[in-house]
Amino acid sequence: MLQIFKNTKYEFLRHSKTAIVVSLVFIVGSIASVFVHGGFNWSIDFAGGTTVQIKFEQPVRDELNNIRNAVGALGFGQPEIKTIGIADSNEIQITVRNQEEGVNVSDSITAALVSALPGNGFNVLRTESVGPKIGGELRRDAVISSLLALLAILVYIGIRFKPSYAVASVIPLFHNVLVVVGVFAMFKIELTLSFLAAVMMVIGYSLNDTIVVFDRIRENLKNGLRGRKFEDAVNVGVNQTLSRTVITTGTTLFTVVVLYMLGSDSIKDFALALTIGIAVGPYSTIFIATHVLARWHKKWPIVK
């Protein structure tokens, strides 16, 4: 593999406590923002509502405010309007959360669009409605599935490595998920099923990076510490894998940033969550995972 950093001897563990303090401050701030904003900005997948995808005969990008005002006047709450695909596709997605019993939301929206854009015909491509009860169940299932995934990772790494490596690898995963959720909470960005998929991908990607570093540390320990401290072996392992971490993270990050910048509105939140998670992954591995591992073996040494 291409070696960007050769024979480096950075003392990463020396800065771990500072990094952990910074992370804790950010996480506490993001939790506070949830209360300030009155909760998360759940999509209709989790909160209930109706989504209508429409294809117009003529361009509508300059008419989005007109559409938003027309749909907002129906009394279903403030709608969310997103463009779908390239500009020439003339497709938009309209989402409203608040629904009234006995009211056909889709028909009301299409009637409002006929009045607002009389010279622009359209076809309804898709209509999706989710009740509040189903949305609540999806929220619960999303949390449970994430926790079960982390538990499975904890057990597997404990078997393949040691319990210390398992705990040290799972804690950064919690950290990365909290950072991604925290950014979305602070900026009131919508949490969708795509966001959940991105979070699960972040967990897998972050774990992969951590396991590579831990595997190198384990390899370095096969012949014992030979008079060195366990922290020295950890620092050596991180430095040896630093080029791999930078290259793989950089290339992946470049891809998802381009996806965010050039992709349609419907996938921007997915790409943003991936961008945050991939960017923070190496940080949590280098400063948090290694710190937990070093602290564990400082209290319970593996080499006498």
Q: What fold, for 49-130? A: Alpha-Beta Plaits (3.30.70)
Domain boundaries, the chain: 12-41+134-299, 49-130
HSE-up (13 A, CA, CB side) for residue 186: 11
Distance of CA 44 to the CA centre of its chain: 18
Q: What digits encode the pLDDT tens for the residues 274-304? A: 999 999 999 999 999 999 999 888 876 755 4
Q: What pLDDT sits at residue 304? A: 47
> Smallest Cα–Cα separation from 202: which of 122, 274, 124, 148?
274
Asked if residue 287 lies in contact with residue 15, where contact means CB atoms within 8 angstroms, the answer is: yes
CATH architecture, domain 12-41+134-299: Up-down Bundle (1.20)
CA distance 150 to 209: 15
Q: What is the pTM of this model?
A: 0.80
Q: What is the pLDDT of residues 6-37, one digit of tens each?
A: 778 888 888 899 999 999 999 898 888 888 87
Dist CA 215 CA 237 (whole Å): 8
Give pLDDT tens digits for 102-137.
567 888 888 889 888 888 888 888 887 777 666 677
Q: Please give the mean pLDDT across all residues of the chain.
A: 84
For 129, the enclosing helix (H) or strand (E) is strand 122-130
Say how far residue 107 (Cα) sits from the centre of its chain. 34
CA distance 225 to 240: 16
Q: Which letter does DSSP use for residue 191 in this model?
A: B
What is the end-to-end Cα distance of the chain in Å, rounded?
Answer: 35
Going by C-alpha positions, the residue among 22, 101, 89, 19 that lies closest to residue 61 is 89
Residue 50 pLDDT exceeds 80: yes
> How much is the pLDDT for 132?
63
The per-residue pLDDT for range 243-278, each reduced to its tens digit, is 888 899 999 999 999 988 887 777 888 999 999 999
- SS3 assignment, position 102: coil
Beta-bridge partner residues of 81: 94
Percent of the chain with pLDDT strictly greater than 90: 20
